[in-house]
Amino acid sequence: METKQFKAESKRLLDLMINSIYTNKEIFLRELISNASDAIDKLYYQSLTDNNLNLYRDDLQIKLSINKENRTLTIEDNGCGMDKHELEANLGTIAKSGSYAFKNQNEKKEDIDIIGQFGVGFYSAFMVSKKIEVVSKKVGAEKAYIWVSCGADGYTIEETDKKDVGTKITLYIKDNSEEENYDEYLEDYKIQEIVKKYSDYIRYPIKMEVTRKELKEGSKDEYEDKKEVETLNSMIPLWKKKKQDITEEEYNSFYIDKFIDYEPPAKVIHSNIEGGINYSMLLYIPSHLPYDYYTKEYEKGLQLYSNGVLIMDKCPDLLPDYFGFVKGLIDSPDLSLNISREMLQHDRQLKTIAKNIEKKIKSELESMLKNDRENYEKFFNIFGTQIKFGCYNDFGMNKDNLKDLILFYSSTTKNLTTLKEYVSRMKEDQEKIYYACGETIDKIDMLPQVQGVKEKGYEILYLTENIDEFVLKVLMEYDKKTFANVSSDNLDIESKEEKEQLKKINEENKDLFSFMKEEIKDVQEVRFTHKLKEHPVCLSSEGEISTEMEKVLNSMPNNQNVKATMVLEINENHEIAQKLKDLYLNDKEELKKCSKILYNGARLIEGLNIENPTEFSNLICELIAK
């Protein structure tokens, strides 16, 4: 018989499982039971449309049995089964879901975390087994097959006999080692305990023959073994239990299993709503961005149940796009079982539920922001961009809903802050909310304009994400305060006298400026400023489009070559100002070159490209050589 090799990535995972030093090995049973339950689900759904399948719902079950002599534990289901090809495809390669999570992790320690938290499906059984046999007969097929593997060396598949449709997995439990007591997995009590812990909510009965000691009939002190088949799980869906009866571990384990993640969620939202429409919601905010979140493959949505029976796996209408990262489910006895996807979209009850879900998520986030700032900031660092997009999209339709959930970095607190907090700290004479844009906090902090405004004692919000400034544009104002980019030309932080004085100086030098402007055609204006403290120059923007927005808009695929209207501002208090005036009188050729250097330098400060870097560098070298 031919022994086939596992695919390379599966082999690595297998090695890990077999040699695992992971302590929580018992989760293998959760994985196998969950697979069995899925297989029964599949068969059950098929039976709803296929009249040839005579299925009795009451017969559907998962059977466990222990054989101590042979050291085996079997898990048997009467689900859909697998044919030869499926055995090969499903058990010869690691599951898609698992492999993704797995690929992203390289460190040994993280590998172990993955096993623990995610389980990586079927293969986790190798943590406790020296050999695994899978006998399966697919629904509608004549032949059954047996898949056998002792781990890394590969596997074999052969035809075999099996009467009923379904899958029977036999685990040959490892022998005890110094570190590990594998015998436990051959004990009734241990298996009962594991099932209760991780698989209690499974919808089909998990049955096992349990041995109990009972008093012999007619005897007072003599016991005998009584065997009885027991159902180990309560079959009550987790979300239907009372909140106080559910442990954090149960919530997390359910999430990891159901929504395929390898890390516990950041937040669980569970409530039962009674009223016009009755329903339960169990929602999870993941603790990291789903790996495929920004791909086309990612589908937002919640599972939809009608009285414990799944009617849709991902109902997108239940979540607004900006909360698309939320996972979870809704269960309502008021929803009809055979409602179609199309009808659902127009369902009034569903719309009401969706509204409530949105409100609930929002209020949970608000209370997290208020009472658990540290975790809110963690959340925001991961999903903040979504909230910002939610604010911006649809022409700002949801902005009022979301504006208080947004955080920006503050120059004053050196931390994340809300707009509300910013406004509460505003100086008495301050009319605008100041902000500055750039690639990183550090780079923004170095901007000449920023230093000037900070010097005057004003707080500045540092915007580092592309979307940020667009969000402020859409908000237009917060608490009647408008926003001002410190790089815009109308900052209004000078006093009336200061402004008058500057106006006069600029008037006196207007010939110098128009000469300079001739050399650097891209700017609308050249002028002196007093806002720069010790820095010599900066580029400011005039009007709606800032230099930052120019960068973002032009990096988009349908780039329309947007240009910010720019002003070159020169620090009148810097020695360079006098030098320019002198050059204008005595050496206009030299002034042309200096204008170019100043302008291109200012572009670099703003993080903009310069058109002719070679010329720029040559001009500087010429200066150095003088």
- Nearest distance from C-beta of residue 251 to ligand ADP, angstroms: 20
Considering only 10, 28, 63, 79, the residue that binds ligand ADP (CB under 6 A) is 79
| Residue pair 402/391 in contact by the 8 Å Cβ criterion | yes
Q: Are strands 432-437 and 460-463 parallel, antiparallel or unpaired?
A: parallel
Stretch near ligand ADP under the rule CB under 6 A, chosen from 79-87, 234-242, 336-344, 547-555: 79-87
**Is residue 121 a contact point for ligand ADP (CB under 6 A)?**
yes
In the complex, the smallest distance separating the C-beta of residue 108 from ligand ADP, rounded to whole angstroms, is 22
The single-letter DSSP state of residue 319 is S
| Residue from the set 10, 167, 488, 571 that interacts with ligand ADP by CB under 6 A | 167
- Figure out which of the listed residues 122, 255, 392, 616 binds ligand ADP, where binding follows CB under 6 A: 122
Question: Interface with ligand ADP includes 95 (CB under 6 A)?
Answer: yes
Which lies closer to ligand ADP via its Cβ, residue 9 or residue 347?
A: 9
Instruction: Please give the biggest Cα pair distance in the chain.
Output: 125
Which stretch of DSSP H or E encloses residue 101? helix 96-103
The alpha carbon of 205 is separated from its chain's Cα centroid by a whole number of angstroms, namely: 34
State the nearest-atom distance from the C-beta of 328 to ligand ADP, in Å.
19
In angstroms, rounded to a whole number, what is the distance separating the alpha carbons of residues 314 and 471? Answer: 29
Give the binding-site size for ligand ADP (rule: CB under 6 A). 16
What span, in angstroms and rounded, lies between the C-alpha atoms of 94 and 30?
A: 17
Pairwise CA distance, residues 391 & 400, whole Å? 8
Among residues 90, 287, 385, 393, the one that binds ligand ADP under rule CB under 6 A: 90
Distance between alpha carbon 234 and the CA centroid of its chain, in Å?
32
The rounded distance, in Å, linking the Cα atoms of 96 and 94 is 6
In this complex, which beta carbon is closest to ligand ADP, that of residue 57 or of residue 480? Answer: 57
> Is position 126 an interface residue for ligand ADP (rule: CB under 6 A)?
no
Comparing CB distances to ligand ADP, the nearer of 97 and 375 is 97
- Nearest distance in Å: CB 440, ligand ADP: 39
| Of the candidates 162, 228, 237, 207, the residue with the CA atom closest to the CA atom of residue 60 | 207
Q: Pick between residue 86 and residue 615 the one whose CB is nearest to ligand ADP.
A: 86
160 versus 506: smaller Cβ distance to ligand ADP: 160
For position 77 contacting ligand ADP by CB under 6 A, the verdict is yes
Residue closer to ligand ADP (CB basis): 15 or 590: 15
- The region of 12-20, 32-40, 211-219, 384-392 touching ligand ADP under the rule CB under 6 A is 32-40
Q: Which of these segments, 35-43, 170-178, 342-350, 543-551, binds ligand ADP (CB under 6 A)?
A: 35-43
> Do residues 307 and 333 touch, judged by C-beta distance below 8 A?
yes
The token pair at 366 is: 């608000």
Nearer to ligand ADP, 87 or 594 (CB): 87
- The span from the CA of 44 to the CA of 27, in Å, is 26
- Give just the sign of the alpha carbon dihedral 583, 585, 586, 589: positive
Query: Which C-beta is closer to ligand ADP: that of 34 or that of 349?
Result: 34
261 makes contact with ligand ADP (CB under 6 A): no
User: Cα–Cα distance between 583 and 501 in angstroms, integer?
Assistant: 23
**Residue 74 is a binding residue for ligand ADP (CB under 6 A):** no
**Residue 340 per-residue DSSP state:** -
Q: Supply the minimum distance, in Å, between the C-beta of residue 316 and ligand ADP.
A: 22
Instruction: Name which of 88, 89, 109, 113 is nearest 101 in CA terms.
Output: 113
Which residue in the set 26, 30, 33, 35 belongs to the binding site for ligand ADP (CB under 6 A)?
35
Q: Tokens 């000449």: give the residue.
A: 448
429, 468 contact by CB (below 8 A): no
99 binds ligand ADP (CB under 6 A): no
Q: Are 16 and 9 in contact (CB under 8 A)?
A: no
CB 110 within 8 A of CB 1: no
Give the distance, in angstroms, between the CA of residue 320 and the centroid of all CA atoms in the same chain. 15
**Residue 614 CB, nearest approach to ligand ADP (Å):** 57
Q: Phi/psi of residue 362, each to 5°?
A: -60, -45
Which segment (52-60, 89-97, 148-156, 473-481) binds ligand ADP by CB under 6 A? 89-97
CB 60 to ligand ADP: min, Å: 13
Of 42 and 351, CB closest to ligand ADP: 42
Helix axes 108-117, 8-18, angle to 10 degrees: 80
Kindly state whether residue 31 participates in binding ligand ADP, applying the rule CB under 6 A.
yes
Binding piece for ligand ADP, criterion CB under 6 A, among 78-86, 157-165, 515-523, 527-535: 78-86
Q: Is 36 in the site for ligand ADP (CB under 6 A)?
A: yes
- Write down the H helix ranges in 434-531: 441-446, 448-455, 468-475, 496-508, 510-519
Q: In angstroms, rounded to a whole number, what is the distance separating the alpha carbons of residues 467 and 399?
A: 14
Q: What is the DSSP letter of 558?
A: T
Nearer to ligand ADP, 36 or 315 (CB): 36
> Taking the complex as a whole, how short is the minimal distance between the CB of residue 24 and ligand ADP, in angstroms?
17
Strands, E assignment, 505-590: 523-529, 537-542, 565-571
Q: Which residue is nearest to ligand ADP (CB)?
A: 121
Stretch of residues binding ligand ADP (CB under 6 A), selected from 91-99, 268-276, 397-405, 438-446 = 91-99
Hey, what amino acid is at 62?
I
Q: In what order do the strands lie in the sheet with 223-231?
A: 155-160, 144-149, 129-137, 166-173, 72-77, 62-67, 206-215, 223-231
Using the rule CB under 6 A, give the single segment among 14-22, 33-41, 305-313, 511-519 that binds ligand ADP.
Answer: 33-41
290 binds ligand ADP (CB under 6 A): no
Of 77 and 459, the one with the shorter C-beta distance to ligand ADP is 77
Residue 418 interacts with ligand ADP (CB under 6 A): yes or no: no
CB of 295 to ligand ADP, least distance (A): 19
Q: How far is the CB of 223 from ligand ADP (least distance, A)?
A: 37
Binding site for ligand ADP (CB under 6 A): 31, 35-36, 39, 77, 79-82, 90, 95, 97-98, 121-122, 167
